[in-house]
Amino acid sequence: MRAVRFHEHGGPDVLTVDDVDEPDPGYGQVVVEVGAIGVNPVDTYFREGAYPVPGLPFVPGSDLAGTVVSVGEGVERFTLGDRVFGTGLGNGMSGTYAEQVASPAGLLAHLPEDVELADAAALALVGTTAWQALVEHGEVKPADTVLVHGGSGGVGHVAVQLAATMGAHVVTTASPDSHDALTALGAEAAFDYDHPNLERAISEEYAPDVVLDTHMDRYLQLNANVAADGARIVGVGNDTAEGGFDDIGVTKGKELRYQFMSMFNTRETDAVLSRLGDLLLRDDVSPVVHETYELAEAGEAQRAVLHDSFLGKLVLVP
Q: What is the CATH number of the domain that holds 222?
A: 3.40.50.720
- Tell me 205's DSSP state: T
How far is 231 from 209, CA to CA, in rounded Å?
Answer: 5
CATH, residue 43: 3.90.180.10
Q: Does pLDDT of 239 surpass 70?
A: no
pLDDT at 241 over 60: no
Looking at the fold, whether 170 and 82 belong to one and the same domain comes out as no
Among 68, 71, 56, 64, which residue's Cα sits nearest to residue 26?
71
Give helix 117-131 / helix 269-281 axis angle, nearest 10°.
Answer: 120
Residues 38 and 151 in one domain: no
Q: How far is CA 214 from each of CA 80, 180, 236, 237, 254, rounded to the nearest angstrom?
A: 38, 20, 5, 5, 22
pLDDT of residue 245: 67
pTM of the model: 0.95
| 250-296 pLDDT, tens digit each | 877 888 999 999 999 999 999 999 999 999 999 999 999 999 999 99
Do 182 and 228 fall into the same domain? yes
Type and span of the H or E element at 277: helix 269-281
276 belongs to a structural domain: no
Give the integer Cα–Cα distance in Å for 82 and 28.
16
Q: Mapping DSSP to helix (H, G, I), strand (E, B) and coil, where does residue 208 land?
A: coil
Same domain, 92 and 41: yes
CB 118 within 8 A of CB 154: no
Mean pLDDT of the chain: 95
What is residue 248's predicted lDDT score, i.e. its pLDDT?
Answer: 72
pLDDT digits (tens, 9 = 90+) for 8-18: 999 999 999 99
Domain encompassing residue 136: 126-263
280 C-beta neighbours (distance < 10 Å), count = 23
Q: What is the pLDDT of residues 27-68, one digit of tens each?
A: 999 999 999 999 999 999 999 999 999 999 999 999 999 999
How confident is the model at residue 237, as a pLDDT?
73
- 136-163 pLDDT, tens per residue? 999 999 999 999 999 999 999 999 999 9
